[in-house]
């Protein structure tokens, strides 16, 4: 059974700061997804990464998939209050989410 870890568990920063959150696995991902859950809503897919070393950008968000496909990072540049939420990683091939990083961006 693949175990997913995410760090940090909680992160509270000021608007305009940069941040990076991480997802690590006990085994190789065939593909990895990042979702964001805003308060009071369901998770929404941000990105899917498939190839080791892959980097994808979504506006101020940069996603990197580790070369060995066992880890991934999400970097947010110049965070805004609208980025507040729970960031979840998930193996693209199954249904289990990591525990998430709860981000709070203060104005």
Partner 1 sequence: EPEVTQTPSHQVTQMGQEVILRCVPISNHLYFYWYRQILGQKVEFLVSFYNNEISEKSEIFDDQFSVERPDGSNFTLKIRSTKLEDSAMYFCASSESRGALSGANVLTFGAGSRLTVL
Binding site for partner 1 (CB under 8 A): 30-31, 33, 35, 37, 40-45, 48, 50, 86, 88, 92-93, 95-100
Residue with Cβ nearer partner 1 (22 or 35): 35
Residue 12 beta carbon to partner 1: minimum distance, rounded to whole angstroms: 14
Residue 77 beta carbon to partner 1: minimum distance, rounded to whole angstroms: 25
Q: How many CB atoms lie within 10 A of CB 75?
A: 16
- Please choose, from the candidates 46, 78, 42, the residue with its C-alpha nearest in 3D space to the C-alpha of residue 63: 46
């Amino acid at each position: 059974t693949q175990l997913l870890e995410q760090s940090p568990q909680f992160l509270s920063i000021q608007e305009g700061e940069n941040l990076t959150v991480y997802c690590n696995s006990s085994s190789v991902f065939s593909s990895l997804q990042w979702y964001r859950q805003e308060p009071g809503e369901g998770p929404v897919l941000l990105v899917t990464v498939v190839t080791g070393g892959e980097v994808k950008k979504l506006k101020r968000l940069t996603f990197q998939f580790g070369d060995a496909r066992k880890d991934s990072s999400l970097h947010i540049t110049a965070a805004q209050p609208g980025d507040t939420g729970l960031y979840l990683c998930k193996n693209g091939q199954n249904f289990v989410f990591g525990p998430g990083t709860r981000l709070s961006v203060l104005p």
